[in-house]
Structure 1
Amino acid sequence: MAHISVKKYQQTTVSAAKEANPYQLVAMLFQKLLGNIASAKGAIQQKDHAKKGDLLSKAITIIGVLQGSLDFEQGGDISRNLSDLYIFCSDKLVEANTNNDEALLDEIIQILLPIKAGWDSIPKEEQDKVSFESA
Protein backbone atom coordinates (compact mmCIF):
# COMPACT_ATOMS: atom_id res chain seq x y z
CA MET A 1 0.00 0.00 0.00
CA ALA A 2 2.79 2.46 0.81
CA HIS A 3 4.35 1.81 -2.60
CA ILE A 4 1.14 2.94 -4.31
CA SER A 5 1.06 6.11 -2.20
CA VAL A 6 4.66 6.97 -3.08
CA LYS A 7 3.99 6.36 -6.77
CA LYS A 8 0.86 8.53 -6.67
CA TYR A 9 2.81 11.30 -4.89
CA GLN A 10 5.53 11.17 -7.54
CA GLN A 11 2.94 11.38 -10.34
CA THR A 12 1.26 14.32 -8.64
CA THR A 13 4.59 16.08 -8.15
CA VAL A 14 5.60 15.58 -11.80
CA SER A 15 2.17 16.77 -12.93
CA ALA A 16 2.38 19.89 -10.73
CA ALA A 17 5.86 20.68 -12.08
CA LYS A 18 4.65 20.40 -15.69
CA GLU A 19 1.85 22.88 -14.99
CA ALA A 20 3.93 25.30 -12.91
CA ASN A 21 5.17 28.65 -14.13
CA PRO A 22 8.88 29.52 -13.64
CA TYR A 23 8.15 31.24 -10.32
CA GLN A 24 6.36 28.16 -9.00
CA LEU A 25 9.14 25.86 -10.22
CA VAL A 26 11.76 27.80 -8.27
CA ALA A 27 9.51 27.78 -5.19
CA MET A 28 9.16 23.99 -5.56
CA LEU A 29 12.94 23.63 -5.90
CA PHE A 30 13.54 25.58 -2.68
CA GLN A 31 10.96 23.46 -0.85
CA LYS A 32 12.55 20.23 -2.08
CA LEU A 33 16.07 21.51 -1.33
CA LEU A 34 15.23 22.39 2.27
CA GLY A 35 13.33 19.13 2.70
CA ASN A 36 16.28 17.10 1.45
CA ILE A 37 18.66 18.85 3.84
CA ALA A 38 16.31 18.33 6.80
CA SER A 39 15.84 14.66 5.85
CA ALA A 40 19.61 14.25 5.54
CA LYS A 41 19.95 15.54 9.08
CA GLY A 42 17.51 12.84 10.19
CA ALA A 43 19.47 10.23 8.24
CA ILE A 44 22.65 11.28 10.08
CA GLN A 45 20.83 10.82 13.40
CA GLN A 46 19.69 7.36 12.26
CA LYS A 47 23.20 6.55 11.02
CA ASP A 48 21.78 5.86 7.55
CA HIS A 49 24.81 7.07 5.61
CA ALA A 50 23.60 5.88 2.21
CA LYS A 51 20.33 7.79 2.54
CA LYS A 52 22.16 10.87 3.83
CA GLY A 53 24.54 10.79 0.88
CA ASP A 54 21.71 10.41 -1.61
CA LEU A 55 19.70 13.27 -0.08
CA LEU A 56 22.67 15.62 0.03
CA SER A 57 23.63 14.71 -3.53
CA LYS A 58 20.10 15.64 -4.63
CA ALA A 59 20.32 18.88 -2.62
CA ILE A 60 23.57 19.81 -4.38
CA THR A 61 21.95 19.07 -7.73
CA ILE A 62 19.02 21.35 -6.88
CA ILE A 63 21.42 24.13 -5.89
CA GLY A 64 23.09 23.67 -9.27
CA VAL A 65 19.72 24.07 -11.00
CA LEU A 66 18.97 27.21 -9.00
CA GLN A 67 22.39 28.61 -9.77
CA GLY A 68 21.99 27.76 -13.46
CA SER A 69 18.71 29.65 -13.60
CA LEU A 70 20.28 32.94 -12.51
CA ASP A 71 20.18 35.76 -15.05
CA PHE A 72 23.42 37.67 -14.51
CA GLU A 73 22.57 40.28 -17.14
CA GLN A 74 19.29 41.37 -15.55
CA GLY A 75 20.11 40.29 -12.00
CA GLY A 76 23.48 42.01 -11.72
CA ASP A 77 24.91 42.01 -8.20
CA ILE A 78 21.95 40.09 -6.79
CA SER A 79 22.57 37.20 -9.20
CA ARG A 80 26.32 37.26 -8.49
CA ASN A 81 25.70 37.26 -4.73
CA LEU A 82 23.20 34.41 -5.03
CA SER A 83 25.65 32.46 -7.17
CA ASP A 84 28.34 32.91 -4.52
CA LEU A 85 25.92 31.77 -1.79
CA TYR A 86 24.91 28.73 -3.83
CA ILE A 87 28.57 27.77 -4.35
CA PHE A 88 29.22 28.23 -0.63
CA CYS A 89 26.19 26.09 0.29
CA SER A 90 27.20 23.34 -2.15
CA ASP A 91 30.70 23.25 -0.71
CA LYS A 92 29.33 23.13 2.83
CA LEU A 93 26.90 20.34 1.91
CA VAL A 94 29.86 18.27 0.71
CA GLU A 95 31.67 19.03 3.98
CA ALA A 96 28.59 18.18 6.06
CA ASN A 97 28.20 14.92 4.16
CA THR A 98 31.85 13.97 4.70
CA ASN A 99 31.78 14.82 8.41
CA ASN A 100 28.18 13.85 9.25
CA ASP A 101 27.82 17.40 10.55
CA GLU A 102 24.24 18.17 11.58
CA ALA A 103 25.16 21.64 12.85
CA LEU A 104 26.55 22.57 9.44
CA LEU A 105 23.31 21.40 7.82
CA ASP A 106 21.44 23.70 10.23
CA GLU A 107 23.71 26.59 9.19
CA ILE A 108 23.01 25.93 5.51
CA ILE A 109 19.27 25.87 6.18
CA GLN A 110 19.60 29.24 7.96
CA ILE A 111 21.34 30.65 4.88
CA LEU A 112 18.72 29.30 2.47
CA LEU A 113 15.58 30.16 4.45
CA PRO A 114 15.82 33.95 3.90
CA ILE A 115 16.40 33.40 0.17
CA LYS A 116 13.30 31.19 0.02
CA ALA A 117 11.33 33.72 2.09
CA GLY A 118 12.35 36.49 -0.29
CA TRP A 119 11.27 34.40 -3.26
CA ASP A 120 7.97 33.51 -1.56
CA SER A 121 7.28 37.19 -0.85
CA ILE A 122 7.23 38.14 -4.55
CA PRO A 123 3.77 39.65 -5.12
CA LYS A 124 1.39 37.56 -7.23
CA GLU A 125 1.27 40.16 -10.01
CA GLU A 126 5.08 39.99 -10.33
CA GLN A 127 5.23 36.19 -10.36
CA ASP A 128 4.09 35.99 -13.97
CA LYS A 129 7.00 38.21 -14.99
CA VAL A 130 9.58 35.74 -13.62
CA SER A 131 11.35 33.89 -16.42
CA PHE A 132 14.40 31.70 -16.84
CA GLU A 133 17.42 32.69 -18.84
CA SER A 134 17.57 30.77 -22.12
CA ALA A 135 19.94 27.83 -21.98
Structure 2
Amino acid sequence: MTHASLKKYQQTTKSTAQQASPYQLVAMLFQKLLGNIATAKGAISQSNFEKKGTELSNAIAIIGVLEGSLDFKQGGEVSENLAALYRFCSEQLLVASTNNDPAKLEEVIQILLPIKAGWDSIPLETQGQVSF
Protein backbone atom coordinates (compact mmCIF):
# COMPACT_ATOMS: atom_id res chain seq x y z
CA MET A 1 0.00 0.00 0.00
CA THR A 2 1.48 3.36 -0.99
CA HIS A 3 1.72 6.23 1.47
CA ALA A 4 -1.05 8.11 -0.39
CA SER A 5 -3.41 5.13 -0.39
CA LEU A 6 -2.66 4.44 3.28
CA LYS A 7 -3.47 8.06 4.14
CA LYS A 8 -6.73 7.86 2.15
CA TYR A 9 -7.67 4.60 3.95
CA GLN A 10 -6.99 6.21 7.34
CA GLN A 11 -9.11 9.25 6.43
CA THR A 12 -11.95 7.03 5.22
CA THR A 13 -11.80 4.91 8.37
CA LYS A 14 -11.75 7.99 10.61
CA SER A 15 -14.66 9.54 8.70
CA THR A 16 -16.67 6.31 8.96
CA ALA A 17 -16.06 6.12 12.71
CA GLN A 18 -17.09 9.77 13.18
CA GLN A 19 -20.39 9.14 11.38
CA ALA A 20 -21.14 5.83 13.10
CA SER A 21 -23.71 5.40 15.85
CA PRO A 22 -22.56 4.03 19.22
CA TYR A 23 -24.01 0.67 18.15
CA GLN A 24 -22.01 0.72 14.90
CA LEU A 25 -18.84 1.77 16.73
CA VAL A 26 -19.05 -1.29 18.99
CA ALA A 27 -19.64 -3.50 15.94
CA MET A 28 -16.57 -1.96 14.29
CA LEU A 29 -14.52 -2.55 17.45
CA PHE A 30 -15.48 -6.23 17.51
CA GLN A 31 -14.53 -6.59 13.84
CA LYS A 32 -11.18 -4.90 14.38
CA LEU A 33 -10.53 -6.91 17.57
CA LEU A 34 -11.11 -10.23 15.82
CA GLY A 35 -8.98 -9.08 12.91
CA ASN A 36 -6.11 -8.16 15.24
CA ILE A 37 -6.22 -11.58 16.88
CA ALA A 38 -6.36 -13.40 13.53
CA THR A 39 -3.42 -11.36 12.25
CA ALA A 40 -1.49 -12.15 15.43
CA LYS A 41 -2.13 -15.87 14.85
CA GLY A 42 -0.66 -15.55 11.38
CA ALA A 43 2.29 -13.57 12.70
CA ILE A 44 3.07 -16.32 15.22
CA SER A 45 3.04 -18.95 12.48
CA GLN A 46 5.45 -16.78 10.46
CA SER A 47 7.66 -16.06 13.51
CA ASN A 48 6.95 -12.35 13.09
CA PHE A 49 6.94 -11.60 16.79
CA GLU A 50 7.03 -7.84 16.42
CA LYS A 51 3.80 -7.89 14.42
CA LYS A 52 2.27 -10.36 16.90
CA GLY A 53 3.08 -7.98 19.73
CA THR A 54 1.61 -4.98 17.96
CA GLU A 55 -1.59 -6.80 16.99
CA LEU A 56 -2.13 -8.23 20.47
CA SER A 57 -1.42 -4.87 22.11
CA ASN A 58 -4.06 -3.34 19.86
CA ALA A 59 -6.48 -6.19 20.65
CA ILE A 60 -6.01 -5.71 24.40
CA ALA A 61 -6.57 -1.97 24.00
CA ILE A 62 -9.84 -2.62 22.11
CA ILE A 63 -10.99 -5.00 24.84
CA GLY A 64 -10.27 -2.20 27.32
CA VAL A 65 -12.47 0.15 25.30
CA LEU A 66 -15.26 -2.43 25.13
CA GLU A 67 -15.05 -3.05 28.88
CA GLY A 68 -14.92 0.68 29.58
CA SER A 69 -18.09 1.23 27.56
CA LEU A 70 -20.19 -1.12 29.69
CA ASP A 71 -23.09 0.48 31.57
CA PHE A 72 -23.26 -1.40 34.87
CA LYS A 73 -26.36 0.51 36.05
CA GLN A 74 -28.55 -0.44 33.10
CA GLY A 75 -26.68 -3.57 32.05
CA GLY A 76 -26.59 -5.16 35.50
CA GLU A 77 -25.60 -8.81 35.48
CA VAL A 78 -25.06 -8.86 31.71
CA SER A 79 -22.50 -6.05 32.00
CA GLU A 80 -20.81 -7.79 34.93
CA ASN A 81 -20.56 -11.02 32.94
CA LEU A 82 -19.20 -9.21 29.88
CA ALA A 83 -16.62 -7.40 32.01
CA ALA A 84 -15.46 -10.72 33.44
CA LEU A 85 -15.21 -12.23 29.94
CA TYR A 86 -13.30 -9.22 28.65
CA ARG A 87 -10.82 -9.42 31.54
CA PHE A 88 -10.40 -13.16 30.94
CA CYS A 89 -9.80 -12.56 27.22
CA SER A 90 -7.19 -9.88 27.95
CA GLU A 91 -5.39 -12.23 30.32
CA GLN A 92 -5.46 -15.04 27.77
CA LEU A 93 -4.10 -12.74 25.06
CA LEU A 94 -1.18 -11.93 27.33
CA VAL A 95 -0.57 -15.63 27.94
CA ALA A 96 -0.80 -16.34 24.21
CA SER A 97 1.66 -13.55 23.49
CA THR A 98 4.13 -14.69 26.12
CA ASN A 99 4.00 -18.32 24.95
CA ASN A 100 3.48 -17.66 21.22
CA ASP A 101 0.41 -19.88 21.49
CA PRO A 102 -1.98 -19.68 18.51
CA ALA A 103 -4.32 -22.22 20.16
CA LYS A 104 -4.84 -19.78 23.04
CA LEU A 105 -5.69 -17.07 20.51
CA GLU A 106 -8.25 -19.39 18.94
CA GLU A 107 -9.82 -19.91 22.39
CA VAL A 108 -10.23 -16.15 22.75
CA ILE A 109 -11.76 -15.92 19.28
CA GLN A 110 -14.26 -18.64 20.23
CA ILE A 111 -15.26 -16.61 23.31
CA LEU A 112 -15.62 -13.36 21.38
CA LEU A 113 -17.51 -14.67 18.34
CA PRO A 114 -20.79 -15.38 20.21
CA ILE A 115 -20.61 -11.97 21.90
CA LYS A 116 -20.14 -10.32 18.50
CA ALA A 117 -22.94 -12.43 17.00
CA GLY A 118 -25.26 -11.36 19.82
CA TRP A 119 -24.37 -7.74 19.24
CA ASP A 120 -24.85 -8.07 15.48
CA SER A 121 -28.28 -9.66 15.99
CA ILE A 122 -29.75 -6.64 17.80
CA PRO A 123 -32.69 -5.52 15.65
CA LEU A 124 -32.19 -2.27 13.77
CA GLU A 125 -35.19 -0.63 15.43
CA THR A 126 -33.74 -1.14 18.91
CA GLN A 127 -30.09 -0.33 18.17
CA GLY A 128 -30.51 3.27 19.36
CA GLN A 129 -31.84 2.04 22.70
CA VAL A 130 -28.91 -0.30 23.35
CA SER A 131 -27.02 0.50 26.48
CA PHE A 132 -23.67 -1.12 26.87
- How does 1:30-45 map onto structure 2 within 5 Å? 30-45=30-45
Deviation at 1:131, TM superposition (A): 4.7
Residue 55 of structure 1 is matched in structure 2 by: 55
Secondary structure in 1 matching 2:47: coil
- Distance in 1, matches of 2:42 and 2:58, equals 15
* Residue identity matched to 1:40: A
Are residue 7 (structure 1) and residue 7 (structure 2) matched?
Answer: yes
Number of equivalenced pairs: 132
Residue 28 of structure 2 is matched in structure 1 by: 28
CA deviations on 1:38-78 (whole Å, 9 max, x unpaired) are 00001101111011001000000000000000001110110
Residue 117 of structure 1 is matched in structure 2 by: 117
- Distance in 1, matches of 2:5 and 2:116, equals 28
TM-score, normalising length: structure 1: 0.94
What do you get for the CA RMSD once the two structures are aligned? 1.1
Residue 96 of structure 2 is matched in structure 1 by: 96
Deviation at 1:2, TM superposition (A): 2.6
TM-score, normalising length: structure 2: 0.96
Stretches of structure 1 that go unaligned for 5 or more consecutive residues are none
Runs of 4+ aligned structure 1 residues displaced above 6 Å come to none
Stretches of structure 2 that go unaligned for 5 or more consecutive residues are none
- Distance in 2, matches of 1:7 and 1:96, equals 32
Deviation at 1:130, TM superposition (A): 2.7
